[in-house]
């Protein structure tokens, strides 16, 4: 309880030190961001009848993957932050977003909160693309870590003006570091995008420091200019994202190599799920080779080889395969075994 009590006490001190106008500020921007994510989840369910359709459907709706994002579809850096792989993923991010966002919004205002979200979501997406080649990624966690990092930096640099005692500040920072450590351990789990978390946190620390400059550097002539960097960078990012959507939103179709990358994950999950074994059995499925040729339409034809290790025995299986990717869904069937 002490960790939560220290954090709550520090937040209460901060809020008490803010001007009356800031204390009464409603988290409009935070709620707007949450609403967009909720609307996207409703769109996914309405279009596919499930909150967790296949990865090709998420790609169609704007998920992040290096080959497409770095191929000109920069808009995916932001659209992916509003897409979530199922309700648990959405709810976890929404809870964290409301907690961090509403608190930070009282300190810096709604417009600058949106700036923090956009910049850190994009930076988290870039980190994700660089570290996870040919992996489909989505979710607001990069931006959530960005908001958290911005809050830490802002408070650390402006605690005197906010009337926070050094003891309360150290308690808050200690609890914050514990929170980051726990979440980074969680990020080591499969299917959790640590790269986006790191990118968002680093970006948030930098942006929070820039926004705190007028308080920290009272006598510097550059103090008022540094937050403007955040606002102008956010505006430029938004313009680039919108422009890339108009130019390249309908050119998302994957190459045969990119379809193979998405298919690899499907095959591993499906084959592992079909293996019947006792709980003590160790089943490891590895796709060792996929070769596909695009027929010019919606189908790809080729072969794949899979390595299956079960109870210490290793076997190799191969099959001809036909893959259909119509721009919204990806399905496949083994033609021969």
Per-residue DSSP letter, 288: E
Q: What is the CATH number of the domain that holds 131?
A: 1.20.1540.10
pLDDT at 45 over 80: yes
Q: Whole-angstrom Cα distance, residue 256 to residue 209? A: 44
Q: Per-residue pLDDT tens for 160-194?
A: 777 777 777 777 777 778 777 777 776 666 677 78
Asked whether 118 and 32 are in contact (CB, 8 A), the reply is: no
Q: Would you state the structure tokens that stand for residue 219, as one six-digit string?
A: 């006598």
Q: What is the mean pLDDT of residues 106-122?
A: 93
Q: How many structural domains does the chain have?
A: 2
pLDDT value of residue 279? 47
Assess whether 157 and 235 both reside in one domain.
Answer: yes
pLDDT of residue 291: 87
Same domain, 76 and 224: yes
User: Which range of residues forms the domain containing residue 119?
Assistant: 2-248
Please report which confidence band the pLDDT of residue 280 belongs to, taking 50, 70 and 90 as the band edges: very low
Asked whether residue 3 carries a pLDDT value surpassing 60, the answer given is: no
- Which of 248, 275, 290 corresponds to the end of one domain? 248
pTM of the model: 0.75
Answer yes or no: do 261 and 244 share one domain: no
**CATH, residue 319:** 3.10.450
Same domain membership, residue 155 and residue 282: no
CB 74 within 8 A of CB 244: yes
Please indicate, yes or no, whether residues 136 and 157 belong to a single structural domain of this protein.
Answer: yes
Q: What is the pLDDT of residues 206-256, one digit of tens each?
A: 999 898 876 655 556 666 778 888 889 999 999 999 888 887 766 556 667
Of 248, 278, 305, the position where a domain reaches its end is 248
Statement to judge: residues 244 and 260 lie in one domain: no
Q: Which of 65-79, 101-115, 154-168 has the lowest mean pLDDT?
A: 154-168
- Give yes or no for residue 269 having a pLDDT over 90: no
């Amino acid at each position: 309880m002490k960790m939560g009590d220290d954090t709550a006490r520090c937040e209460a001190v901060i809020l008490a030190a803010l001007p009356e106008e800031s204390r009464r500020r409603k988290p409009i921007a935070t709620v707007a961001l949450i609403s967009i994510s909720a609307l996207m989840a409703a769109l996914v369910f309405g279009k596919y009848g499930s909150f967790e359709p296949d990865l090709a459907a998420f790609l169609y709706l704007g998920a992040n993957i290096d080959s497409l994002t770095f191929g000109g579809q920069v808009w995916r850096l932001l659209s992916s932050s509003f897409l979530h792989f199922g309700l648990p993923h959405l709810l976890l991010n929404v809870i964290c977003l409301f907690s961090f966002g509403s608190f930070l919004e009282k300190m810096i205002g709604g417009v600058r909160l949106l700036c923090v979200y956009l910049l850190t979501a994009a930076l988290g997406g870039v980190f994700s693309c660089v570290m996870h080649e040919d992996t489909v990624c989505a979710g607001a966690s990069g931006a959530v870590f960005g908001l958290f990092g911005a809050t830490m930096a802002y408070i650390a640099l402006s605690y005197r003006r906010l009337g926070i005692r050094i003891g309360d500040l150290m308690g808050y920072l200690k609890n914050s570091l514990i929170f980051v450590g726990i979440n980074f351990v969680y990020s080591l789990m499969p299917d959790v995008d640590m790269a986006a978390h790191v990118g968002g946190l680093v970006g948030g620390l930098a942006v929070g420091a820039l926004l705190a400059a007028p308080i920290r550097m009272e006598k510097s002539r550059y103090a008022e200019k540094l937050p403007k960097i955040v606002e102008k960078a956010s505006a430029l990012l938004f313009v680039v994202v919108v422009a890339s959507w108009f130019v390249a939103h309908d050119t998302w179709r994957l190459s045969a190599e990119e379809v193979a990358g998405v298919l690899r994950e499907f095959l591993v999950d499906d084959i592992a799920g079909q293996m019947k074994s006792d709980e003590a059995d160790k089943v490891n499925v590895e796709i060792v080779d996929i070769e596909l040729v695009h027929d010019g339409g919606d189908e790809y034809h080729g072969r794949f080889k899979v390595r299956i290790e079960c109870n210490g025995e290793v076997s190799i299986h191969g099959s001809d395969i036909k893959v259909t990717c119509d721009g919204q869904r990806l399905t496949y069937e083994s033609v021969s075994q």
